[in-house]
Structure 1
Amino acid sequence: MTSSIRDTVAAVRRAPHPSTDVHDYIRDNREDLRATLTDRGAVLLRGFPVGGVDGFDGVVRAFSGSAPLTYAERSSPRSTIQGQVYTSTDYPAEEEIFLHNENSYQAVWPQTLYFYCIEPAHTQGATPLADIREVYRNLDPAVREEFERRGWRVVRNFHADFGVPWQQTFGTDDRSAVEAYCRDKGLTPHWRPDGGLRTVAVRSAVHTHPVTGERVWFNHATFFHVTTLAEDVREGMLAIFDEEDLPTNTYYGDGGRIPDDVMDHLRATYRAASTRLDWERDDVLVVDNMLAAHAREPFTGPRRIAVAMAEPSA
């Protein structure tokens, strides 16, 4: 596969020599790398011998100065590779994963994301990136103001026989533990008669970056909305579930429906801000989760990407 990094959001840092140790490079250049991450939103480390998943774990610790985080309150299927290193979302290869900021539907999210290319795709499989400062600036001011005023609401339904079960999402089968977690994280739980669970949360659509002070469009309102699903998937979901029972859907914070033309505008604004990054084996991509949204193209071939998260927001 021919790899292109032209015009990507990420700043590219190539290994000075094929044998350059990536961990030494990070330690020697950490201040510059962190400043570049805050400026650009993402840094691509290319051409370094990473040393597999163990080495990738070491990259996280060297760059963030802390261990990777556990993937909590998960919304997509992932498999643990080792420790707190996971597979990227285990969705079918033919499906696009739309632009989003990791865990922006939660009360606490990872500030820094790490992606490691174990094996690239044969075709496509790029990771698009979008500067969410640009998304914020380019949104219709009336649309932006509406969300800033009303917030956004995410409704998740965990069905007993469909999708990721609540026991896996919350890491327990103890209902009282789930309820305590929900109270702590601003979620309202409703137990379903079939043994499933519905959770409702109201979040801010716009946040302030803790380092730069910039306003950023940081939410899952577009990603989780039913109209963002591919048409055949959306129709299939609505044939199975009533709207209120969909696995995920979003609304204005007061429960009002988000108009279709607003959702079209949101998706178009994300896409207009998007650039793509094709993978090479042993690439490591570091992303400031509050500056850059990420996505996934459909692909053919193996495409094995490991992910890790670090630096909780609070």
Structure 2
Amino acid sequence: MESKPTTPADAAQIQAALTDPRRLAAVRDTGLLDTPPEEVFDRLTRLAAKLTGAPVTFVSLLDADRDFYKSAYGLGTTRQLSGRTFCHYPLVSGQALILEDVTQLPVFRDVPTVNSLGIRAYAGIPLRTESGEVLGSFCAVDFKPKQWTEQDVEIISELAHSAMREIRLRMALQDASALNQQLQAQIQKVDALNRALSEMATTDALTGVANRRAFDHSLQLELAIVERRGTPLSLLMLDVDHFKRINDTYGHEAGDKVLVAIAQLLGGCARVIDVVARVGGEEFAVILPNTDAGGAHEVAERMRSAVARSNWLGQPTTVSIGAATLHDKEDAASLYARADAALYAAKTAGRDRVAMA
């Protein structure tokens, strides 16, 4: 049987079809151009050759200026051809092209592969997407005139459908992979946002140390550890001496800089396991896990001395510190109240000193 267009496409029609942007996008979206041979496609072309007796069978994808062969049985190492080929005609017509002797019509006789490869018979079925874009053809050729039977054409058509199903599957997997990557990117953005929000919720915006919420939560956690392990726990309460005078004399911006600098000094004096927090305007608290009264006094003196040695405003800035060590069965509120009372005692006694509860 033989099927050919009543008016074969001319060069202008072929070029327009080859370079159509939507069609080219569909071809490139397959992700198959310039990829190595794969057994799933090679199996189809081998089967086509075996069942039809054609010496050459191939899966052709049509790029703008070349035919790329995803699978080519009987073509040796040839993976692509440039210039006009028989596969261009099914591209334009959208229909199967079955030629028993290509030399019988001048338009087909002049196709370059007639001379370069010696092609005499051709059977090609378009590989069409669901949206109607022709990606290429599933083809069989012979080097001598061949009478293609209805069974031959049915076989090539069925194998063309199988090739197209595989292409659709690849595209679906690519889409799924791309969607998964987008989803992962969105998850990472959400995670980053959640981390930022969590940090905002637990970090003092000015000084960067823990805020009152984080302090309360950390103190409860440390109390739970003490209950399980029986380890000591101490708490320091610190207040910047005469802070209102600093604001009134130098301005609130200078006062903020003092608070930031003090927070940094406290963090430098603290251990990794300690929690430094800003719990009020010019008030700080430091949770000292696994620290008894002697250790708490030592840390408090180190912090007081570090601040006193500073000279941010051209004159000393000092802090008063109250320290308390957890009693047996004592809760957070009681520990906090005793440390705060010790702080008040330090300020009443003249400031720039440590008082123990």
Please indicate, yes or no, whether the TM-score normalized by the shorter chain is above 0.5: no
Q: Which has the higher contact order (CA 8 A, sep 6+)?
A: 1
If you compute each CA radius of gyration, which structure gives the higher value, 1 or 2? 2
Compute the TM-score of the two structures, normalised by the length of structure 1. Answer: 0.23
